[in-house]
Structure 1
Amino acid sequence: MIIDDQYYDVIIIGTGAGGGTLARKLAPTGKKILILERGELIYRESSELVDTEVFKKEQYHAKDAWFDNEGEPFYPQTYYSVGGNTKIWSGVLQRMRERDFEQVQHQGGVSPAWPLKYQDFEPYYTEAEKLYQAHGKVENDPTEPPHSEAYPFAEIAHEPMLQSIGDTLSQQGLHPVHLPLGVGDRGRTDAEDTGVSPVLTSDNVTLKTSAQVVSLHTNPSGAEIKAVEAKIGGQSYLFLGDIIVLACGAVNSAALLLRSANEKHPNGIANGSGQVGRNFMKQLLSVVVQLTASANSGTFSRTLGLNDFYWGDKDFPYPLGHVQNSGGILQDVIFAEAPPILSALSRLMPNFGLRQLATHSIGWWLQTEDLPNANNRVHYVGDKLRIDYTPNNVEAHDRLVYRWIDVLKNVEATQPSAFNRTTHPRSDMPIQVLAHQCGTCRFGEDPATSVLNLDCRTHEVHNLYVVDSSFFPSHASVSPGLTVIANALRVGDRLIQQLSS
C-alpha cells in the first residue's frame, strides 16, 4: 500500500451535487483540498444524448452488481464520473415545500419533521440557485414556499405543444408553472461544470479520478478518521487529512461506512445507533405517455410542472405528489428504464419506428413521496451489497397517476385533433432506477436515532461529514437535487468557520 506524501486539510469523496458543490464552496479558503472520484472527467454533458442511444439498455448503469430483497442481482442506474448523477439529471432545481419540513400524515404513514426548517435552508436555496444559474419564475403555485429573492434568470419557455397544454390546464382551474432549470453556456448546469472544473485551476485543489474509495481508517480510539484508502489503477493508496467528507450518494456513502467496520466500530463507522443504511428512500416514480397527432423534436427540455395535487385532492385528503413533463423522450435518460412503455407504444403505433414513437408523444413524470422505513435498508450480506426495499405510500401514487390521466383526457377533449387519445401507457420505475435516493444517514439531535448532527457531522467521529442526500430524515415529492446543493453550501459555511479557527 502506498501512503500519499501529501497531507490535506479536507478530503471530499464524490463529486455529485453534494461533493462538487462543497469543493466549489471551500476552494477560496486556500486550504489544501483533495477530491476523490471513482469515475472519470467527462467534459461532454452525458445527458446530451445522441438520437436513440438513450434507449440502449443499461447504458448509464454501474458495472458492479447490487442485490435486491430476494438476493437477485441488478445493475443500478448510478453514474460514476466527475459530476456524478448530475451528468444525467434533468437540471430541475426545485425547493422543498415549506410544509415538507414538518411532520405530515400520509395515507401510507407519517413523514417525520426535520430538525431544521425551511427558513434555515432558504438563504442556501437562494445561493444554490445563483450558483447553478437557475432559470425560473415564482408563479401562482399553491405550494411554492417564500423566496427572499427572485430567480437569477428568466424562465425557459415551453415548447408550443406544452404551452398549449399549460393554457388548457389554467382554463380548467389548475396552476401549471415553469419548472426552475439550471442552464449555463454549455446547456444544463451540473456539479462538474459548476462545482469541480472551476476550482481545478486553484493550486490548493487536487482531483484524482478513477479513485475508488474502499475503506476509511480511524485512529486507535475510533474518534476520528486518519486515512482514506482508495484503489487507483489496481494499486491501493492511503490519503491523510484533517476533515473527511462523504458525498458518494445515499447508497454508496452508507456502504462505505458499513464496510469500514473496525474494533471500535464493529457495526460500521458511525453506526453505534444502528441507523447507517436504514430508512433508504427513493421516490415513487412513474412515467405516463401522452400520444400526439403531430411530431415534436423529441429533445426539448422539461419545463412544465404542476403541484395542485401535492397535498391531496377533493376526494383524497392525503398528499399525492408532483407532476412534470419529461422533456423530449429522446433525451430522457431515466425514460430508458421503461421498456413496457416502448412495447405499448409499438402496439398502438405499429407503423412507426422508434424515433417516430418518441417524437409523437409527450412523457409525464409523476413523483410521490416515499416514507422512511427502517426495514428499507442498505447492508452487506457477506461481500454482497444488498438493497432491501419495499415501496410504500403506493395507493397515493396510484391515485396521482389516475388523477393525472383524467386531467390529460380533459385536455385532449378540448383539442381532439392534436392528440391520439387511444390510451395513456404507464410504467413504474424499478429498483434499478435510483433517482432521488436518500435517507441512509439521517441527521438529527439524538445520537440514538440519527447518524449525523445538524451540521451533517457524524455523532461518533468528529472529523467525518456526509453532504449527499443521505442526511434526509424524510423525502418530499419534488426533486431533491437543489436541497442537496443548498445543504452542501450550508455545511460549507460551517467548515469554513472550522478551518479558519
Structure 2
Amino acid sequence: MESYDVIIIGTGAGGGTLARHLAPSGKRVLLLERGSWLPREPANWSAADVFIDNRYISPDTWYDSGGKPFQPQVHYFVGGATKLYGAALYRLRREDFGELRHHDGISPAWPIGYEQMEPYYTLAEQLYQVHGARGEDPTEPPASADYPFPAVSHEPRIQQLSDDLAKAGYHPFHAPCGIRLNEANMPYSVCVRCTSCDGFPCPLHAKSDAEVFGVRPALEHPNVTLLTSAHVIRLETNPQGTAVTTVVVEHEGHEERYAADIVVVSAGAANSAKLLLRSANDKHPNGLANGSDQVGRNYMFHDSQAVLALSKEPNPTVFQKTLGVNDFYFRGPDFDYPMGNIQMIGKSQADMFRGEKPIATMLAPTWALADVARHAVDFWLSTEDLPLPENRVTLTEDGNVRLTYRQSNPTAADRLYHQLKSMLGHLGMHSGHLFHRWAYMKSEIPVAGVAHQAGTCRFGTDPAASVLDTDCRAHELDNLYVVDTSFFPSIGAVNPALTAMANALRVGDHLLRRLGAATGATTAAGPGGTR
C-alpha cells in the first residue's frame, strides 16, 4: 500500500487550494478526484448543452426525505464545483462571524473571528486574482490590502443601473470577480467577457477556478500526484479508532488502498458527510467522527432566488455579473432583521429558459424567448439559510445520499424579493413583470440546487456539539481534517467559495507546522500551463 504525507480527497475550492499551499513544502501529497479533467470543447459555451442537456452535471441520484429520487446539480471534475461557478468571490461580513438574530431564527457565532480569517482572505484574493474596489460596499469588512486587480467595469446598461441606484440613495458596488483580464499582463488566455461564464465552464481557463489556480500550480511540484476517476468509498482506522490508516478508492473498476499521515476530506458538504457516515466501524458506529451526532446535520445552501426583470429598453450587456447591492444585508426598511445580498448573474439566453422551465416553455417559439432575454436584467438574491439540525444528510439502505431539508428563513427571503421589486419599480423596470427563475439551471432549487451547500461537519470548541475543532481537525481522530464548506457553522448571505479558499490556506498553515515545514510558501504567482 503506497503511503503519503497528506492525502486530499476532492480538488475544489477547499482541496485544490490546500494542495497548492502544501505543494512547495516538498511533502508527498496525493490528490484524489472522483471525476476527470473537464474537456475544453465548443459545448463549454453552449447554453443548450449546459442548461438543456445538463452535459456537465453528475448522473448521481440522491433522495429527498420522502424517498423521491432526484438528480443533484453537482459536478465531478478537477476543480470541483468551481468549474461551473460564477467566480463571485466575496468575503463574509465581519458580523457574520458573530451571532446574528434573524426574523426566523439565529445564525450562530463562529469559534474564530473575522480577524483570524482576514490574512487568508487577502492571500486567497491574491491567489485567485480577484478584481474589485474597496470602499464601495457599506457592509464590507476591513481588509489588510487592496484587491490585487481593479474592479471589472460595468457595461453601459449595468452602469446606468448602478447610476440610477446611487441616485435613489442606494450603494451599488463592483462585485468581486475572479477572472483573468488583460491588465494582469499574463502570457496565457484571458477573459473575453462572454455571456458564458456564470454556470458554464470556461474553455479559455480565464475563470479563477480551483483547477487553474489550485491544482495545476500544485502539479508543477514533483511531490504532488493527482489521481482522477478515483472515487473514495470509505476510510478505515486503527483498532483504537483514533486515526485514519487507509483510504479505500474505486479507481477504473478496481479497488485501491492508500495511506497517509494526514487525511483531508474536501468532497463537498453532502459527499463529505456521506463518506464519514459510510465509514462507520466498531469504534465509530454512527459514522466516522460522529460521536456528537452532528455529521450530516445543519445542511445549508442559501435561500436563493434568481429573478429575471424585464427592462423597458433592451439590455445588450454581455458580461453582466459586475454589480452588487448590500444595503439590505443586515436590515431593511421597516424590517429590523437581515435580508441578504443582491447581485447580478449571467445574462439570460433563450436556451436557459428551456432548460429551467421545460414544460412552461415547450410551446414558446424561440424568437419569443430570445426577445424576453434581450430585455432581461438578471439578478441573484441570496438570503442566509439558517442551520437547523433536522436539515441533514443521511444514507439510504444502499449508501446513497438522503437529503432532508425545509426552508429556514422564508420571511427574510420574501422581504428581499419584494424589496427588489420596489426598488426596480422606480428605475424603469416593469415591476409587474418579474419572473422567478428558481434555479441556475433547473426548477428543483429546494432540493437539487446544491451549489452553495455547507454545514454538515461544523467546527467548534465543544466536541459534543461539533465535528471539527478550530483547525478543522476531527475531534475524535488525530489525523482527519475537513476543508470544504462542511465546516461552516453558518453561511452568511454571500457566495461561500472565497471563505472555503481562505480557510484552506489557514488550515494549510496549521498542517505545514504539524509536518515541520515552513509556512507562507505559497505566492501570488500565476497558474500553471493549460491542458
TM normalised by structure 1 equals 0.93
Is the 8 Å Cα contact of residues 305 and 324 (structure 1) preserved in structure 2? yes
Following TM superposition, by how much is the alpha carbon of 1:420 offset from its aligned partner in structure 2, in angstroms?
5.7
Instruction: List aligned pairs for 1:241-256, cutoff 5 A.
Output: 241-256=260-275
- 1:54 match: secondary structure: helix
Q: Deviations over 1:310-348 (max 9, x none)?
A: 111121111000000112124998x887428x948987x
- 2:427 match: secondary structure: helix
1:402 aligns with 2:418: yes
Following TM superposition, by how much is the alpha carbon of 1:148 offset from its aligned partner in structure 2, in angstroms?
0.9
Is the 8 Å Cα contact of residues 345 and 425 (structure 1) preserved in structure 2? no
Indicate which of 85, 90, 94 corresponds to 1:94: 90
- 1:405 match: secondary structure: helix
Q: Deviations over 1:143-190 (max 9, x none)?
A: 111111110000001121111001000000000000001112332110
- 2:8 match: secondary structure: strand
Is the 8 Å Cα contact of residues 54 and 330 (structure 1) preserved in structure 2? no
Indicate which of 369, 392, 398 corresponds to 1:377: 392
Following TM superposition, by how much is the alpha carbon of 1:488 offset from its aligned partner in structure 2, in angstroms?
0.1
Indicate which of 50, 53, 76 corresponds to 1:54: 50
Partners of 1:336 and 1:145 in 2: how far apart? 39
Is the 8 Å Cα contact of residues 345 and 357 (structure 1) preserved in structure 2? no
Indicate which of 481, 485, 495 corresponds to 2:501: 485
Partners of 2:498 and 2:336 in 1: how far apart? 28
2:436 matched to which residue of 1?
426
Q: Specify whether residues 344 and 319 from structure 1 end up closer, same or farther in structure 2 by C-alpha distance, changes over 3 A only.
A: farther
Where structure 1 has 5 or more consecutive residues not aligned to the other structure, the ranges are 413-418
Q: Specify whether residues 149 and 332 from structure 1 end up closer, same or farther in structure 2 by C-alpha distance, changes over 3 A only.
A: farther
1:339 aligns with 2:357: yes
1:223 matched to which residue of 2?
242
Following TM superposition, by how much is the alpha carbon of 1:472 offset from its aligned partner in structure 2, in angstroms?
0.4
Q: Specify whether residues 336 and 324 from structure 1 end up closer, same or farther in structure 2 by C-alpha distance, changes over 3 A only.
A: farther
**Matched letter for residue 374 of structure 1:** P
Instruction: List aligned pairs for 1:117-136, cutoff 5 A.
Output: 117-136=113-132
**Matched letter for residue 370 of structure 1:** D
**Matched letter for residue 272 of structure 2:** S
- 2:14 match: secondary structure: helix
**Matched letter for residue 329 of structure 1:** S
Partners of 1:46 and 1:221 in 2: how far apart? 52
Q: Specify whether residues 46 and 190 from structure 1 end up closer, same or farther in structure 2 by C-alpha distance, changes over 3 A only.
A: farther
**Matched letter for residue 425 of structure 1:** F
Is the 8 Å Cα contact of residues 48 and 355 (structure 2) preserved in structure 1? no
Q: Specify whether residues 445 and 337 from structure 1 end up closer, same or farther in structure 2 by C-alpha distance, changes over 3 A only.
A: farther
Q: Specify whether residues 351 and 469 from structure 1 end up closer, same or farther in structure 2 by C-alpha distance, changes over 3 A only.
A: closer
Is the 8 Å Cα contact of residues 135 and 152 (structure 1) preserved in structure 2? yes
Is the 8 Å Cα contact of residues 101 and 116 (structure 1) preserved in structure 2? yes
**Matched letter for residue 15 of structure 2:** G
Structural RMSD (CA): 2.2
Indicate which of 290, 294, 302 corresponds to 1:271: 290
Following TM superposition, by how much is the alpha carbon of 1:78 offset from its aligned partner in structure 2, in angstroms?
0.7
Indicate which of 106, 119, 123 corresponds to 1:110: 106
Q: Specify whether residues 150 and 28 from structure 1 end up closer, same or farther in structure 2 by C-alpha distance, changes over 3 A only.
A: same
1:309 aligns with 2:328: yes
Partners of 1:327 and 1:441 in 2: how far apart? 31
Following TM superposition, by how much is the alpha carbon of 1:356 offset from its aligned partner in structure 2, in angstroms?
3.9
Q: Specify whether residues 17 and 247 from structure 1 end up closer, same or farther in structure 2 by C-alpha distance, changes over 3 A only.
A: same
1:285 matched to which residue of 2?
304
Q: Specify whether residues 338 and 368 from structure 1 end up closer, same or farther in structure 2 by C-alpha distance, changes over 3 A only.
A: farther
Partners of 2:392 and 2:313 in 1: how far apart? 45
Deviates more, 1:37-46 or 1:468-477: 37-46
**Matched letter for residue 424 of structure 1:** L
Is the 8 Å Cα contact of residues 132 and 151 (structure 2) preserved in structure 1? yes
Partners of 2:229 and 2:236 in 1: how far apart? 20
Instruction: List aligned pairs for 1:427-466, cutoff 5 A.
Output: 427-428=437-438, 429-466=445-482
Following TM superposition, by how much is the alpha carbon of 1:62 offset from its aligned partner in structure 2, in angstroms?
1.9
- 1:286 match: secondary structure: strand
1:326 matched to which residue of 2?
345
Q: Specify whether residues 150 and 18 from structure 1 end up closer, same or farther in structure 2 by C-alpha distance, changes over 3 A only.
A: same
Partners of 2:125 and 2:362 in 1: how far apart? 37
Is the 8 Å Cα contact of residues 290 and 362 (structure 1) preserved in structure 2? yes
1:16 matched to which residue of 2?
12
Is the 8 Å Cα contact of residues 97 and 144 (structure 1) preserved in structure 2? yes
Is the 8 Å Cα contact of residues 156 and 317 (structure 2) preserved in structure 1? no
2:36 matched to which residue of 1?
40
Indicate which of 54, 59, 63 corresponds to 2:59: 63
Q: Deviations over 1:197-236 (max 9, x none)?
A: 1121321011000000000010111110011001011100
Partners of 1:345 and 1:295 in 2: how far apart? 24
Is the 8 Å Cα contact of residues 299 and 330 (structure 1) preserved in structure 2? no
Q: Deviations over 1:408-434 (max 9, x none)?
A: 11111xxxxxx5665111133331010
Following TM superposition, by how much is the alpha carbon of 1:69 offset from its aligned partner in structure 2, in angstroms?
1.6
Indicate which of 385, 389, 394 corresponds to 2:405: 389
Following TM superposition, by how much is the alpha carbon of 1:46 offset from its aligned partner in structure 2, in angstroms?
10
Q: Specify whether residues 46 and 443 from structure 1 end up closer, same or farther in structure 2 by C-alpha distance, changes over 3 A only.
A: farther
Q: Deviations over 1:247-268 (max 9, x none)?
A: 0000000000000101111110
- 2:385 match: secondary structure: coil
Following TM superposition, by how much is the alpha carbon of 1:293 offset from its aligned partner in structure 2, in angstroms?
4.7
Q: Deviations over 1:285-332 (max 9, x none)?
A: 101111235544564141100000111112111100000011212499
Partners of 1:161 and 1:427 in 2: how far apart? 21
Is the 8 Å Cα contact of residues 51 and 351 (structure 2) preserved in structure 1? no
Partners of 1:287 and 1:195 in 2: how far apart? 29
Q: Specify whether residues 47 and 363 from structure 1 end up closer, same or farther in structure 2 by C-alpha distance, changes over 3 A only.
A: farther
Deviates more, 1:243-252 or 1:54-63: 54-63
Is the 8 Å Cα contact of residues 57 and 336 (structure 1) preserved in structure 2? no
Aligned length: 487
Indicate which of 211, 219, 238 corresponds to 1:192: 211
1:415 matched to which residue of 2?
none
2:202 matched to which residue of 1?
none
Partners of 1:230 and 1:297 in 2: how far apart? 48
Partners of 2:38 and 2:50 in 1: how far apart? 17
- 2:260 match: secondary structure: strand
**Matched letter for residue 378 of structure 2:** G
2:154 matched to which residue of 1?
158
Sequence identity (%): 48
Is the 8 Å Cα contact of residues 48 and 331 (structure 1) preserved in structure 2? no
**Matched letter for residue 324 of structure 1:** Q
Partners of 1:370 and 1:233 in 2: how far apart? 38
